[in-house]
Amino acid sequence: MKINNFEFLVIAPSGEQARRYFQSNQNIVTKDGGLPIQADKLRHQIFKEEGYVRDDPASHHDTSANDKTWQLVAIDKSSEELLGCIRFILFDQKNDIPEADRIVKMCGIDFEDKKSRTNIVGLIKTHLSNLRKKNKSLMYVGGLAVNSKGKKLGYGAILGLATNAFMRIVGEAEGITFAQDYQGGASLFRRLGGYRIKEKLDSFYSKNHSCNAQLLGLDPLRIDARLESMIKALEDKLRVSKVLTVS
């Protein structure tokens, strides 16, 4: 996987947000060219192929945080095909970090029983309270999907590493994600700054995604030193990538 084979496009929720974090970037443009829709379509198609979602995309998408939603899309330079995408919801204002119930709602998880829901909500509360104490912004990370033609070529890892680079760009925010066990999403994130908020907590089953998932905290500074130069290169690439603003 060569970093020069693809380019990133960043989709920002607004011009104001884009300029806040990419102020020295000359490539902020207000026309999105339908890219957010294409990225959503790709994600939905991949998730459908994996059996994570039913037909109706609306049944899975929480639109209440659209004004805070960023996307990162990797595009093949020669074919211009979408290789993969990932979505971030950034809560960057003091006192803006949501309650645990809202985080659960964002992911749309349908828990098997009340006990697993209570456990997860408790863990999220612990995580959010730690972030508040550290005065950190929160980035909810989700929707990682790689085009089925490009799987196992390293794009999932690239997007995971770029997520860490992105967290550094937005003021060293820390993250939270629900990552699935089945295709290796959880193991991928755990190699790239992801950690269990409480050790020994087993995976739980999400009925509507029909798979086991893990709740992970994400810390862009907890990365294996061997990946540091790659993250730095991705951060440099992101800083000059085209940023498309939705409004």
Ligand X SMILES: CC(C)(COP(=O)(O)OP(=O)(O)OC[C@H]1O[C@@H](n2cnc3c(N)ncnc32)[C@H](O)[C@@H]1OP(=O)(O)O)[C@@H](O)C(=O)NCCC(=O)NCCS
Which residues contact ligand X (rule: CB under 6 A)? 46, 50, 144-146, 151-157, 179-180, 183-185, 187-188, 191, 227
Q: Under DSSP, is residue 13 helix (H, G, I), strand (E, B) or coil?
A: coil
Q: Under a CB-based contact definition with an 8 Å cutoff, are residues 175 and 140 in contact?
A: yes
CA 10 to chain CA centroid, nearest Å: 12
| Closer residue to ligand X (CB): 39 or 46 | 46
Nearer to ligand X, 154 or 171 (CB): 154
Contact 155, 184 (CB under 8 A): no
Q: Is 112 helix (H, G, I), strand (E, B) or coil?
A: coil
**Minimum distance, C-beta of residue 136 to ligand X, in the bound complex (Å):** 22
Please state the closest distance from residue 50 (CB atom) to ligand X, in A. Answer: 5
CA distance 208 to 205: 9
Q: Give the Cα separation of 115 and 129 in Å (integer).
A: 21
DSSP code string of 171-237: TS-EEEEEEESTTSHHHHHHHTTEEESSTTPPPEEETTTTEEEEEEEE-TTS--GGGHHHHHHHHHH
> Closest CB to ligand X among 12 and 74?
74
Q: How far is the CB of 100 from ligand X (least distance, A)?
A: 20
Q: Pick between residue 3 and residue 37 the one whose CB is nearest to ligand X.
A: 3
CB of 228 to ligand X, least distance (A): 12
Question: Cβ 95 to ligand X, closest distance in Å?
Answer: 29
Nearer to ligand X by Cβ, of 186 and 244: the residue is 186
